[in-house]
Chains A and B, each alone.
Chain A
Amino acid sequence: MRKHADLIFQFVSLGALLVALAALAALVFDIVSDGAGRLSLQFLTNIASRNAEDAGVYHALMGSIWVIALTGALALPVGVAAAIYLEEYGSRSRMARFIELNISNLAAVPSIIYGLLGLGLFVRFMGMGQSVMAGAATLALLALPVVILSTREALRTVPSSIREGSYALGATKWQTIWNQVLPMALPGVLTGLILALSRAIGETAPLITIGALTYIPFAPDGIWSKFTVLPIQVFNWVSRPQPEFKANAAAGILVLMVLLLSMNAIAIIVRDRQQRRGRV
Chain B
Amino acid sequence: MSTRSLEWIIERVLFLCAALSVLTTAGIIAVLAFETYEFLREVPIVDFLTGTEWTPLFSSQKFGVLPLVVGTMLVSSIAMVVALPMGLLSAIYLSEYSPSGFRRVIKPVLEILAGVPTVVYGYFALTFVTPLLQQVFPSLSGFNALSPGLVMGLMILPLVSSLSEDAMRAVPQGLREGSYALGATRMQTALKVVVPAAFSGITAAFILAVSRAIGETMIVAIAAGQQPRLTGNPFVPIETMTAYIVQVSLGDTPQGTIEYRTIFAVGMLLFVMTFGLNLISTWLRERFREEYA
Give residues in A with beta carbon < 8 Å to B. Answer: 2-3, 5-6, 9-10, 12-17, 19-21, 23-24, 26-27, 30-31, 34, 77-79, 81-82, 84-86, 89-90, 96, 98-99, 101-106, 108-117, 119-121, 124, 141, 144-145, 148, 172-174, 198-199, 201-205, 208-211, 214, 231, 234-235, 238-239, 246, 249-250, 253, 256-257, 260, 264
Contacts and interface: CB of A to CB of B under 8 A. Distances in A.
A109 B185 contact: no
Q: Is the interface of A mostly helix, strand, loop or mixed?
A: helix
Interface string B2-44: 0100110011011101111110110110011011000000000
Contacts of A264: 115
Nearest to A214: B250
B89 interface: yes
B284 interface: no
Nearest to A30: B128
Contacts of B137: none
A210 B246 CA distance: 10
Interface residues of B, number: 85
Contact of B93 (A16, A103, A260): A16
B105 to A, nearest CB: 10
Contacts, number: 249
A47 B64 CA distance: 41
A89 B17 CA distance: 13
B93 A120 contact: no
Nearest to B19: A99
Contacts of B18: 81-82, 85-86, 90, 96, 99
Q: Which of B20, B222, B245, B249 has the most CB of A within 10 A?
A: B249
A17 B117 contact: no
Listed residue (A20, A114, A115) with the most chain B CB atoms within 10 angstroms of its CB: A20
A204 B216 CA distance: 11
B274 interface: yes
